[in-house]
Amino acid sequence: MPKSLLAALCAALLLASCATPQKKNPLSFDKAPLFGMIYDEDNQPCAGARLIIDGVEGKGETGLVTDIRGRFVLPDLPPGEHHLVARKEGYEELSAKIVFLNSTDALFLRMVSFGQLLTNAEKALEERKWEQAGDFLARAGKLDPGDSVFLCLQAVKAYRTGCYPEAVGFLNGILESGIHEPSVYLFLADIYEKKLCDQEKAIENLQLYLGKRADSDVEQRLAELKATEK
């Protein structure tokens, strides 16, 4: 091969090599965006969760709020260990330590809603897992301690574990919140009559129940209680 042709070929190969884009090493970067998604326990996207990274809270336009599909991006994040917090009304706060070492990493996180905590507590009560139920209820109580369903489940747990005065307190809390469901009066009547041996209070709550709902069986029960009281 003539030397001139060989030189031209080498030059062409050199130019082609220089023109070929070099792949970036995902393990070597100063800053990179970190993408992620947040779901709830039912695998539904958690939209509108506000993110705080290393104690710094951004605004929506900076990408620190999850979108309608639960997606978010943490822009210009340096490699290393970071602390992420996600907050949304009606959900437990999510706090997680993340280690960002690869620029292609993605986060998949989960938040738990107030309703999901109550559902878990109810299931635990049905299965007689008192400690587990208590844990779910304690967590729910930090979000909305005045919720009527929360108070009712607390009353059920207290009743089933023999804490009858405590159960009465939770049921009265429902009434004090302005919710006067007939079932609450009937539950109170059961506790007073069968567990606390307070016939006067049992009669009072049966009368309040009948003021809300007609029930021939309860009318007969009330009549029998009044007869034994005399």
| Owning domain of residue 148 | 114-229
Six-digit token string for 180: 């006067």
* Residue 185 and residue 155 in one domain: yes
In-domain check, residue 101: yes
Average pLDDT of the chain is 89
Cut 0.75: pTM above it: yes
Q: Count how many domains the chain has.
A: 2
- Counting beta carbons within 10 angstroms of the beta carbon of residue 153, is it exposed (0 to 12), middle (13 to 18) or buried (19 or more)? buried
Euclidean distance between CA atoms 48 and 53, whole angstroms: 16
With beta carbons less than 8 A apart as the criterion, state whether 183 and 160 touch: no
* Residue 167 and residue 216 in one domain: yes
* Residue 48 and residue 105 in one domain: yes
Coil, strand, or helix at residue 71?
A: strand
In-domain check, residue 25: no
With beta carbons less than 8 A apart as the criterion, state whether 78 and 101 touch: no
**CATH code of residue 130:** 1.25.40.10
**pLDDT confidence tier of residue 161, bands split at 50, 70 and 90:** very high
**CATH code of residue 100:** 2.60.40.1120
What's the pLDDT score for residue 27?
63
Task: Look at residue 199 and tell me whether its pLDDT is greater than 50.
Answer: yes
- Pairwise pLDDT comparison (102 vs 156), residue with the higher score: 156
Task: Look at residue 75 and tell me whether its pLDDT is greater than 60.
Answer: yes
Residues 102-123: what's their mean pLDDT?
96
Euclidean distance between CA atoms 168 and 31, whole angstroms: 58
Among 82, 110, 138, give the residue marking a domain's end.
110
Euclidean distance between CA atoms 51 and 98, whole angstroms: 13
**pLDDT confidence tier of residue 229, bands split at 50, 70 and 90:** confident
